[in-house]
Amino acid sequence: DTGVSQDPRHKITKRGQNVTFRCDPISEHNRLYWYRQTLGQGPEFLTYFQNEAQLEKSRLLSDRFSAERPKGSFSTLEIQRTEQGDSAMYLCASSLAPQRPGKTQYFGPGTRLLVL
């Protein structure tokens, strides 16, 4: 247990439905990251926050995806109008900035999404 928690751990939904995932980082960490991982691939960066501010978004993050971190603590990732291609593991990580070598990101267990 790294101290990063994600909820739910598993989600099955029908195509076209909206889903929301939550991530609770390690409490003193000011940076929070979202990644997506499909079968057989390494995790792919989606977006990250420093405190409340969303500082970078990958081009993988389409208009149907939105992430928030309203109070600089937990974060939510919402996917609207889900598609079968959204089926993946969604990973959250947190870190303490500024980054130093070795002050790495700590990952949560992930939320596995299946879109039928």
Interface residues toward other proteins, by CB under 8 A: 2, 4, 31, 33, 35, 40-45, 48, 55-56, 58, 91, 93, 98-102, 104-110
Instruction: Check: CB of residue 77 under 8 Å from CB of residue 60.
Output: no
CA 81 to chain centre: 18
Q: Which two three-digit tokens encode residue 95?
A: 């870190």
Min CB(46)–other proteins separation in Å: 9
DSSP assigned state of 84: G
Choose between 37 and 80: whose C-beta lies nearer to other proteins.
37
Min CB(8)–other proteins separation in Å: 14
Choose between 50 and 66: whose C-beta lies nearer to other proteins.
50
Min CB(81)–other proteins separation in Å: 26
Separation of alpha carbons 92 and 13, rounded Å: 20
Count other Cβ atoms within 10 Å, centred on residue 29: 18
Choose between 13 and 58: whose C-beta lies nearer to other proteins.
58
